[in-house]
Structure 1
């Protein structure tokens, strides 16, 4: 079922949040389906694996900050990743209650398996938006993601 056309009285700013929410949902569900098929992981897991790969030894608290999630959500995410054998947890060398995270070879394999799908997805977004608009949109979304009102 497609979205009804815009109301003639709507201004672009009146529907921005709605369009962001719809786009985020559409992109997330499509990307999740593709990543699950290609590598057996969701986009949330993919983001966590990228973060752990980029910062070996990251703590769960630090990972929560990188991903913009609550620590309780990251605890559940890390549990799924460790259960799947994609990351390991070790005791933090200085903080007795913290653990550090390391990517396993299976986690690295999952990232490699997902990469062609990520590339294809980004290629489709570039084709849809055009290169200049793709770059501007990525920059605008990055600013929004780091906005602190």
Structure 2
């Protein structure tokens, strides 16, 4: 019988995958997957505010504030006064941040290839689409 505890299985899988992906990303570029997500958003939206970064990542602003501080300390991003929002900071990648994204790409590609091998290429796409729907679901 198929396990009907989908939420439990999603939580367990997410925990296992995050730990495995974090190990690979840390080894490749010294960043966690959470930090990597922030770096990708900042790369795609130069000058993004912390508030907007929190919204895109689905995180609390307090968690983003701590992460941004760590990324600034690591020299991966810079903060500067936002040109249009008085109290906001604009976030930008540094050369080191761009290099970290470049270094981590093979680890991400390898991780995705390993997941495809475990569940099969067709199931990988079906699973990715189903997870997108769940992420966008408003319960």
Q: Tell me, yes or no, whether TM beats 0.5.
A: yes
Residues 1:67 and 2:35 are matched in the alignment: no
Residues 1:36 and 2:26 are matched in the alignment: yes
The correspondence for 1:86, drawn from 76, 95, 110, is 76
How far 1:94 sits from its partner (Å)?
1.6
How far 1:40 sits from its partner (Å)?
0.4
CA separation in 2, counterparts of 1:103 and 1:139? 30
The correspondence for 1:126, drawn from 96, 116, 121, is 116
Larger Rg: 1
Residues 1:19 and 2:5 are matched in the alignment: no
CA separation in 2, counterparts of 1:52 and 1:144? 24
Alignment match, 2:47: 57
Using structure 2 for the length normalisation, give the TM-score: 0.97
Using structure 1 for the length normalisation, give the TM-score: 0.90
- TM superposition outliers: structure 1 runs of 4+ over 6 Å: none
CA separation in 2, counterparts of 1:42 and 1:115? 13
Residues 1:148 and 2:125 are matched in the alignment: no
How far 1:95 sits from its partner (Å)?
1.3
Aligned pairs, how many?
139
How far 1:27 sits from its partner (Å)?
0.1
Cα deviation digits, residues 44-92 of structure 1 (max 9, x gap): 0000000000111100000001100000000001000000000001101
CA separation in 2, counterparts of 1:137 and 1:30? 19
How far 1:131 sits from its partner (Å)?
1.0
How far 1:96 sits from its partner (Å)?
1.1
How far 1:136 sits from its partner (Å)?
0.6
CA separation in 1, counterparts of 2:112 and 2:3? 25
